[in-house]
Amino acid sequence: MKLKDSVQLVEMQKRLKLISKLDSYGVLDSIEKLPETPSSVQKKIIQEFFVFLASKFV
């Protein structure tokens, strides 16, 4: 296996872990309904929401 392949595999594993985490919170269906290419306003709203949400668990 080439180094590039190893790096890609690690990146894919990180993304799978993130997807699994979102699934454990039961939010994948809601996230799938979001636009593929959000406007800057939509993106900011989602980012602020997740920052707010994460702050409640710290």
**Rounded CA gap, 14 and 44, in Å?**
23
33 φ/ψ angles, rounded to the nearest 5 degrees: -80, -15
- pTM of the predicted protein model: 0.68
For 18-33, what is each residue's pLDDT tens digit?
A: 999 999 999 999 999 9
Q: Report the pLDDT value the prediction gives residue 32, as an integer from 0 to 100.
A: 93
Is residue 28 within 8 A of residue 19, CB to CB? The reply is: yes
- Burial code (b: 16+ CB inside 10 Å, e: under 16) for 23-35 equals eeeeeeeeeeeee
